A and B are shown apart, each in its own frame.
Chain A
Amino acid sequence: MLKIINGQVYDPANGVSGELKDVYIEDGKIIAEPGFPQNNAVPDLIDAAGCVVMPGGVEIHSHLAGPKVNTARMMCPEDHYDHFHTKTSVSRSGTGLTIPSTFLTGQLYSRLGYTTVFEAAVPALLARHVHEELQDTPLLDAGFYTLMGNNYMMMKVLGEPDSKKRKERLRDLVAWLLRSSKGYAVKVVNPGGVESWKWSQGSVNLDTPVPPFGVTPRRMLLELVDVVEELHLPHSLHLHSNHLGEAGNVQTTLETMRTLEGHRLHLTHMQFHSYGATKSGGISSEAPRIAEYLNQHPEFTCDAGQIVFGPVTTMTADSPMQFHLHQLTGNKWANADVEMETGAGIVPLIYRPSNLVNAIQWSIGLELLLLVKNPWQIFLTTDHPNAGPFTAYPQIIRLLMDADYRRARLAELNPKAVRYTCLAELDREYTLDEIAIITRAGPAKALRLSNKGHLGVGADADVAIYPLQQDKEAMFSRPAYVLKDGQVIVRDGQVIKNVMGRTLFVQPEGAQKLPPDLADDFARFYSIALSNFAVQEEYVERQEVIPCI
Chain B
Amino acid sequence: MRHLSRYSALAKGLFVAEGRKGRKVVVIDVRPTATSKQADEFLEITPGQDFEIATVLRAIIKGLPLPELPEDSTVGGVPLSKWRELVSLMKACHYGVVMFGIGVTESRGKDLNLEQIIKLVGEMNEFTRFYAIPMRGHGNVNGSNQVLTWQTGYPFAVNLSRGYPRYNPGEFSVMDLLIRREVDAALIIATDPGAHLPKVAVEHLKNIPTIVLEPHENLTTSWANVVIPVAPAGVGVSGTFYRMDNVALQVKKLADFPFPSDLEVVKSIKERIADVKDYQRASL
- Using CB atoms and an 8 Å cutoff, list the residues of chain A in contact with chain B: 65, 67, 69-71, 73-74, 77, 79-81, 84-87, 89-96, 99-103, 125-126, 128-129, 132-133, 136, 138, 152, 197-200, 212, 323, 326-327, 333, 335-337, 340, 497-500, 521, 524-525, 527-528, 532, 536, 538-539
Considering the chains assembled together, what is the distance between the CA atoms of A92 and B164 in angstroms?
A: 8
Q: Which of A79, A90, A94 contacts B165 (CB 8 A)?
A: A94
Q: Are B150 and A136 in contact (CB under 8 A)?
A: yes
Considering the chains assembled together, what is the distance between the CA atoms of A90 and B95 in angstroms?
A: 49
**21 A-B Cβ contacts within 8 A?**
A70-B146, A80-B165, A80-B167, A86-B162, A86-B164, A92-B283, A93-B160, A93-B163, A94-B153, A95-B154, A100-B153, A129-B146, A152-B14, A200-B94, A327-B126, A335-B131, A337-B129, A340-B14, A524-B12, A528-B249, A532-B250
Q: In the complex, which residues of chain B have a beta carbon less than 8 angstroms from the beta carbon of A125? A: 247
Q: Which of A87, A102, A527, A539 contacts B150 (CB 8 A)?
A: A102
Segment with Cβ contacts to A, from B39-47, B70-78, B173-181, B274-282: B274-282
| Chain A CB within 8 A of B7 CB | yes
Q: Are B128 and A85 in contact (CB under 8 A)?
A: no
Q: Are A500 and B282 in contact (CB under 8 A)?
A: yes
Considering the chains assembled together, what is the distance between the CA atoms of A546 and B22 in angstroms?
A: 47
Cβ of A28 to closest chain B Cβ, rounded Å: 15
Q: Are A93 and B152 in contact (CB under 8 A)?
A: yes
Cβ of B173 to closest chain A Cβ, rounded Å: 14
Q: In the complex, which residues of chain B have a beta carbon less than 8 angstroms from the beta carbon of A528? A: 247, 249
Q: Are B145 and A497 in contact (CB under 8 A)?
A: no
Q: Which of A69, A80, A527 contacts B7 (CB 8 A)?
A: A527
Q: Are B150 and A73 in contact (CB under 8 A)?
A: yes
B225-268, CB < 8 A from A = 238, 240, 242, 245-250
Q: Which of A87, A129, A132 contacts B164 (CB 8 A)?
A: A87
A87 nearest in chain B by CB position:
B163
Considering the chains assembled together, what is the distance between the CA atoms of A421 and B95 in angstroms?
A: 42
A72 nearest in chain B by CB position:
B149
Q: In the complex, which residues of chain B have a beta carbon less than 8 angstroms from the beta carbon of A126? A: 246-248
Taking A70-B146, A93-B164 as known contacts, 9 extra A-B pairs with beta carbons closer than 8 A to each other, sorted by chain A number, are A69-B150, A70-B149, A95-B152, A100-B153, A128-B250, A132-B248, A198-B95, A200-B129, A498-B283
Considering the chains assembled together, what is the distance between the CA atoms of A128 and B122 in angstroms?
A: 28
Q: Which of B94, B151, B154, B280 contacts A136 (CB 8 A)?
A: B151
A129-B246 contact given A84-B165, A200-B94, A200-B128, CB 8 Å threshold: yes
Interface string of B12-27 (1 = CB under 8 A from A): 1111000000000000
A89-B280 contact given A74-B149, A200-B94, A333-B122, CB 8 Å threshold: yes
| Chain A CB within 8 A of B155 CB | yes
Considering the chains assembled together, what is the distance between the CA atoms of A101 and B164 in angstroms?
A: 12
Considering the chains assembled together, what is the distance between the CA atoms of A85 and B242 in angstroms?
A: 27
B283 nearest in chain A by CB position:
A498
Considering the chains assembled together, what is the distance between the CA atoms of A73 and B147 in angstroms?
A: 11
Cβ of A323 to closest chain B Cβ, rounded Å: 6
A-B contact count (CB 8 A): 132
Q: Which 6 pairs show the lowest CB-CB distances between chains A and B?
A: A95-B153, A498-B283, A80-B153, A84-B164, A129-B248, A128-B248
B281 nearest in chain A by CB position:
A498
- Using CB atoms and an 8 Å cutoff, list the residues of chain B in contact with chain A: 7, 12-15, 94-95, 122, 125-129, 131, 145-147, 149-155, 160, 162-167, 238, 240, 242, 245-250, 278-280, 282-283
A132-B240 contact given A70-B146, A323-B125, A498-B283, CB 8 Å threshold: yes
B277 nearest in chain A by CB position:
A89
Q: In the complex, which residues of chain A have a beta carbon less than 8 angstroms from the beta carbon of B14? A: 152, 340, 521, 524-525
Q: Which of A67, A91, A536 contacts B250 (CB 8 A)?
A: A536
A212-B125 contact given A87-B164, A89-B278, A101-B151, CB 8 Å threshold: no
Q: Are A90 and B283 in contact (CB under 8 A)?
A: yes
A100 nearest in chain B by CB position:
B153
A532-B164 contact given A74-B149, A94-B152, CB 8 Å threshold: no
Considering the chains assembled together, what is the distance between the CA atoms of A102 and B147 in angstroms?
A: 10
Considering the chains assembled together, what is the distance between the CA atoms of A81 and B246 in angstroms?
A: 25
Q: Which of B164, B249, B280 contacts A95 (CB 8 A)?
A: B164
Considering the chains assembled together, what is the distance between the CA atoms of A100 and B125 in angstroms?
A: 30
Q: In the complex, which residues of chain A have a beta carbon less than 8 angstroms from the beta carbon of B279? A: 89-90
A103-B151 contact given A86-B163, A528-B249, A538-B250, CB 8 Å threshold: yes
A71 nearest in chain B by CB position:
B246
Considering the chains assembled together, what is the distance between the CA atoms of A91 and B164 in angstroms?
A: 11
Q: In the complex, which residues of chain B have a beta carbon less than 8 angstroms from the beta carbon of A128? A: 240, 248-250
Cβ of A237 to closest chain B Cβ, rounded Å: 27
A90-B150 contact given A527-B7, A536-B250, A538-B250, CB 8 Å threshold: no
Q: Are A96 and B122 in contact (CB under 8 A)?
A: no
Q: Are B154 and A525 in contact (CB under 8 A)?
A: no
Q: Which of A74, A100, A200, A323 contacts B155 (CB 8 A)?
A: A74
Q: Are B154 and A498 in contact (CB under 8 A)?
A: no
Considering the chains assembled together, what is the distance between the CA atoms of A200 and B7 in angstroms?
A: 22
Considering the chains assembled together, what is the distance between the CA atoms of A241 and B229 in angstroms?
A: 54
A496 nearest in chain B by CB position:
B280
A128 nearest in chain B by CB position:
B248
A127 nearest in chain B by CB position:
B248
Q: Are B165 and A95 in contact (CB under 8 A)?
A: yes
Considering the chains assembled together, what is the distance between the CA atoms of A337 and B154 in angstroms?
A: 23
Considering the chains assembled together, what is the distance between the CA atoms of A527 and B125 in angstroms?
A: 23
